[in-house]
A and B are shown apart, each in its own frame.
Chain A
Amino acid sequence: DAGVIQSPRHEVTEMGQEVTLRCKPISGHDYLFWYRQTMMRGLELLIYFNNNVPIDDSGMPEDRFSAKMPNASFSTLKIQPSEPRDSAVYFCASRGGTRPGELFFGEGSRLTVL
Protein backbone atom coordinates (compact mmCIF):
# COMPACT_ATOMS: atom_id res chain seq x y z
CA ASP A 1 0.00 0.00 0.00
CA ALA A 2 1.20 3.50 -0.77
CA GLY A 3 2.09 5.59 2.22
CA VAL A 4 1.84 9.35 2.56
CA ILE A 5 3.38 10.91 -0.51
CA GLN A 6 5.02 14.32 -0.43
CA SER A 7 6.54 16.45 -3.16
CA PRO A 8 8.99 17.88 -3.81
CA ARG A 9 11.54 16.01 -1.68
CA HIS A 10 13.94 18.91 -1.94
CA GLU A 11 13.36 22.54 -2.80
CA VAL A 12 15.92 25.31 -3.00
CA THR A 13 14.59 28.78 -3.62
CA GLU A 14 15.49 32.40 -3.13
CA MET A 15 14.05 34.69 -0.55
CA GLY A 16 10.80 36.25 -1.67
CA GLN A 17 9.74 33.39 -3.91
CA GLU A 18 6.55 31.42 -3.47
CA VAL A 19 6.89 27.82 -2.31
CA THR A 20 4.21 25.15 -2.60
CA LEU A 21 4.54 21.80 -0.88
CA ARG A 22 2.19 18.97 -1.72
CA CYS A 23 0.84 15.97 0.12
CA LYS A 24 -1.26 12.94 -0.73
CA PRO A 25 -2.50 11.19 2.43
CA ILE A 26 -3.19 7.50 2.79
CA SER A 27 -6.50 6.59 1.22
CA GLY A 28 -9.26 6.40 3.81
CA HIS A 29 -7.51 8.54 6.38
CA ASP A 30 -9.64 11.47 7.45
CA TYR A 31 -7.06 13.46 9.39
CA LEU A 32 -4.13 15.27 7.80
CA PHE A 33 -1.34 17.11 9.59
CA TRP A 34 1.45 19.45 8.53
CA TYR A 35 4.57 19.58 10.72
CA ARG A 36 7.81 21.52 10.49
CA GLN A 37 11.10 20.14 11.82
CA THR A 38 14.20 22.20 12.61
CA MET A 39 17.21 21.60 14.81
CA MET A 40 16.37 24.58 16.99
CA ARG A 41 12.65 24.04 17.52
CA GLY A 42 12.22 20.33 16.92
CA LEU A 43 8.92 19.09 15.52
CA GLU A 44 6.14 21.70 15.39
CA LEU A 45 2.52 21.14 14.39
CA LEU A 46 1.50 23.81 11.91
CA ILE A 47 -2.08 22.86 11.05
CA TYR A 48 -4.36 19.88 10.86
CA PHE A 49 -7.49 18.99 8.90
CA ASN A 50 -10.36 16.64 9.60
CA ASN A 51 -12.50 15.61 6.63
CA ASN A 52 -10.80 18.34 4.56
CA VAL A 53 -11.74 21.08 7.04
CA PRO A 54 -8.98 22.99 8.90
CA ILE A 55 -9.46 22.35 12.61
CA ASP A 56 -6.47 23.99 14.27
CA ASP A 57 -4.10 26.36 12.53
CA SER A 58 -2.68 27.94 15.66
CA GLY A 59 0.78 26.63 14.81
CA MET A 60 1.00 28.46 11.48
CA PRO A 61 3.81 30.94 12.09
CA GLU A 62 2.37 33.94 10.27
CA ASP A 63 0.22 35.07 7.38
CA ARG A 64 2.87 34.10 4.88
CA PHE A 65 1.88 30.49 5.48
CA SER A 66 -1.35 29.01 4.18
CA ALA A 67 -2.67 25.47 3.79
CA LYS A 68 -5.54 24.00 1.83
CA MET A 69 -7.16 20.62 1.45
CA PRO A 70 -9.47 20.79 -1.58
CA ASN A 71 -10.32 17.08 -1.41
CA ALA A 72 -9.60 13.96 0.62
CA SER A 73 -6.55 13.00 -1.41
CA PHE A 74 -4.61 16.24 -1.69
CA SER A 75 -3.29 19.06 0.46
CA THR A 76 -0.91 21.95 -0.10
CA LEU A 77 1.19 24.12 2.18
CA LYS A 78 2.16 27.43 0.64
CA ILE A 79 4.70 29.99 1.79
CA GLN A 80 4.55 33.40 0.14
CA PRO A 81 6.91 35.17 0.31
CA SER A 82 9.52 32.75 1.59
CA GLU A 83 12.29 33.81 3.99
CA PRO A 84 15.56 32.11 5.00
CA ARG A 85 14.14 31.32 8.46
CA ASP A 86 11.54 29.12 6.76
CA SER A 87 14.29 26.64 5.87
CA ALA A 88 13.27 23.33 7.44
CA VAL A 89 11.93 19.89 6.70
CA TYR A 90 8.17 19.93 6.29
CA PHE A 91 6.29 16.72 7.01
CA CYS A 92 2.79 15.71 6.13
CA ALA A 93 1.11 12.98 8.15
CA SER A 94 -2.28 11.31 8.11
CA ARG A 95 -4.31 8.99 10.29
CA GLY A 96 -7.65 7.29 10.51
CA GLY A 97 -10.29 8.29 13.01
CA THR A 98 -10.14 5.21 15.21
CA ARG A 99 -6.51 5.35 16.32
CA PRO A 100 -5.67 8.80 17.60
CA GLY A 101 -1.98 9.25 18.16
CA GLU A 102 -0.99 6.78 15.42
CA LEU A 103 0.23 8.99 12.61
CA PHE A 104 1.72 7.93 9.29
CA PHE A 105 4.35 10.36 8.07
CA GLY A 106 5.59 11.12 4.60
CA GLU A 107 9.30 11.32 3.87
CA GLY A 108 9.27 15.09 4.13
CA SER A 109 10.09 18.06 1.93
CA ARG A 110 13.42 19.70 2.70
CA LEU A 111 13.15 23.43 1.99
CA THR A 112 16.16 25.71 1.71
CA VAL A 113 15.52 29.42 1.26
CA LEU A 114 18.63 31.37 0.26
Chain B
Amino acid sequence: GNSVTQMEGPVTLSEEAFLTINCTYTATGYPSLFWYVQYPGEGLQLLLKATKADDKGSNKGFEATYRKETTSFHLEKGSVQVSDSAVYFCALYGNNRLAFGKGNQVVVIP
Protein backbone atom coordinates (compact mmCIF):
# COMPACT_ATOMS: atom_id res chain seq x y z
CA GLY B 1 0.00 0.00 0.00
CA ASN B 2 0.88 3.65 -0.01
CA SER B 3 3.29 4.84 2.64
CA VAL B 4 5.55 7.71 3.61
CA THR B 5 8.92 7.51 5.32
CA GLN B 6 10.52 10.42 7.15
CA MET B 7 14.05 10.61 8.49
CA GLU B 8 14.46 9.43 12.07
CA GLY B 9 14.86 11.67 15.07
CA PRO B 10 14.40 15.33 15.98
CA VAL B 11 16.23 18.14 14.23
CA THR B 12 17.91 20.84 16.29
CA LEU B 13 19.48 23.83 14.61
CA SER B 14 20.36 27.47 15.16
CA GLU B 15 18.35 30.43 13.96
CA GLU B 16 19.08 31.36 10.33
CA ALA B 17 20.41 27.87 9.55
CA PHE B 18 19.31 25.86 6.51
CA LEU B 19 16.69 23.20 7.18
CA THR B 20 16.12 19.98 5.26
CA ILE B 21 13.70 17.24 6.27
CA ASN B 22 13.74 14.15 4.11
CA CYS B 23 10.60 12.40 2.94
CA THR B 24 10.32 9.43 0.59
CA TYR B 25 7.21 7.63 -0.47
CA THR B 26 5.91 4.36 -1.86
CA ALA B 27 2.77 4.53 -3.94
CA THR B 28 0.88 3.13 -6.87
CA GLY B 29 -0.37 5.54 -9.46
CA TYR B 30 0.15 9.29 -9.17
CA PRO B 31 -0.38 10.48 -5.62
CA SER B 32 -0.52 14.05 -4.33
CA LEU B 33 2.07 14.99 -1.70
CA PHE B 34 1.77 17.31 1.28
CA TRP B 35 3.65 18.76 4.20
CA TYR B 36 1.72 19.51 7.37
CA VAL B 37 3.04 21.41 10.40
CA GLN B 38 1.96 21.05 14.03
CA TYR B 39 2.86 23.87 16.40
CA PRO B 40 2.94 23.10 20.13
CA GLY B 41 -0.52 22.49 21.56
CA GLU B 42 -2.25 22.79 18.20
CA GLY B 43 -3.64 20.56 15.50
CA LEU B 44 -1.93 19.91 12.19
CA GLN B 45 -2.22 22.49 9.46
CA LEU B 46 -1.40 22.25 5.80
CA LEU B 47 1.93 23.89 4.96
CA LEU B 48 2.30 23.14 1.25
CA LYS B 49 1.38 20.63 -1.42
CA ALA B 50 2.31 19.31 -4.87
CA THR B 51 -0.05 17.34 -7.07
CA LYS B 52 2.17 16.08 -9.88
CA ALA B 53 5.77 15.28 -10.70
CA ASP B 54 8.19 18.24 -10.78
CA ASP B 55 5.68 20.52 -9.06
CA LYS B 56 7.16 22.70 -6.34
CA GLY B 57 5.02 23.60 -3.36
CA SER B 58 5.97 26.65 -1.32
CA ASN B 59 4.67 28.61 1.65
CA LYS B 60 6.15 30.74 4.46
CA GLY B 61 9.66 30.33 3.01
CA PHE B 62 9.39 26.53 2.91
CA GLU B 63 9.69 24.61 -0.34
CA ALA B 64 9.38 21.00 -1.50
CA THR B 65 9.65 19.51 -4.98
CA TYR B 66 7.78 16.39 -6.08
CA ARG B 67 10.53 14.11 -7.46
CA LYS B 68 9.07 11.05 -9.14
CA GLU B 69 12.44 9.61 -10.16
CA THR B 70 13.62 9.48 -6.54
CA THR B 71 10.12 9.15 -4.99
CA SER B 72 10.93 12.04 -2.68
CA PHE B 73 9.38 15.25 -1.39
CA HIS B 74 12.02 16.81 0.84
CA LEU B 75 11.14 19.95 2.78
CA GLU B 76 13.62 22.85 2.80
CA LYS B 77 13.90 26.33 4.23
CA GLY B 78 16.84 28.58 3.68
CA SER B 79 16.86 30.47 6.99
CA VAL B 80 14.82 29.18 9.91
CA GLN B 81 13.42 31.22 12.76
CA VAL B 82 12.60 30.28 16.33
CA SER B 83 8.93 30.45 15.35
CA ASP B 84 9.48 27.53 12.94
CA SER B 85 9.92 25.18 15.91
CA ALA B 86 7.23 22.56 15.37
CA VAL B 87 6.61 19.01 14.22
CA TYR B 88 6.55 18.51 10.45
CA PHE B 89 4.62 15.67 8.79
CA CYS B 90 4.96 14.47 5.23
CA ALA B 91 1.77 12.99 3.78
CA LEU B 92 0.57 11.27 0.62
CA TYR B 93 -2.93 11.12 -0.83
CA GLY B 94 -3.74 8.17 -3.04
CA ASN B 95 -6.37 5.43 -3.33
CA ASN B 96 -8.78 7.61 -1.36
CA ARG B 97 -6.55 7.65 1.71
CA LEU B 98 -4.20 10.18 3.28
CA ALA B 99 -1.10 8.50 4.72
CA PHE B 100 1.09 10.45 7.17
CA GLY B 101 4.71 9.95 8.03
CA LYS B 102 5.75 9.77 11.68
CA GLY B 103 6.76 13.40 11.83
CA ASN B 104 9.99 15.22 12.69
CA GLN B 105 10.30 17.60 15.58
CA VAL B 106 12.28 20.70 14.65
CA VAL B 107 13.77 22.83 17.41
CA VAL B 108 15.31 26.16 16.43
CA ILE B 109 17.63 27.69 19.00
CA PRO B 110 18.12 31.49 19.13
Q: What is the interface of chain A, defined by CB distance below 8 A to chain B?
A: 4, 42-43, 45, 91, 93, 100-108
Contacts and interface: CB of A to CB of B under 8 A. Distances in A.
Contact of B43 (A42, A93, A100, A101): A93
Which 7 pairs show the lowest CB-CB distances between chains A and B?
Answer: A105-B43, A101-B93, A42-B102, A105-B44, A43-B100, A101-B32, A107-B43
Given A93-B43, A101-B93, A104-B46, 13 more contacts: A43-B89, A91-B43, A91-B44, A93-B44, A100-B32, A100-B98, A101-B34, A101-B98, A102-B34, A104-B45, A106-B43, A107-B41, A108-B42
Contacts of B89: 43
Interface of B: 32, 34, 41-46, 49, 89, 91, 93, 96-98, 100-103
Contact of A101 (B42, B91, B101, B102): B91
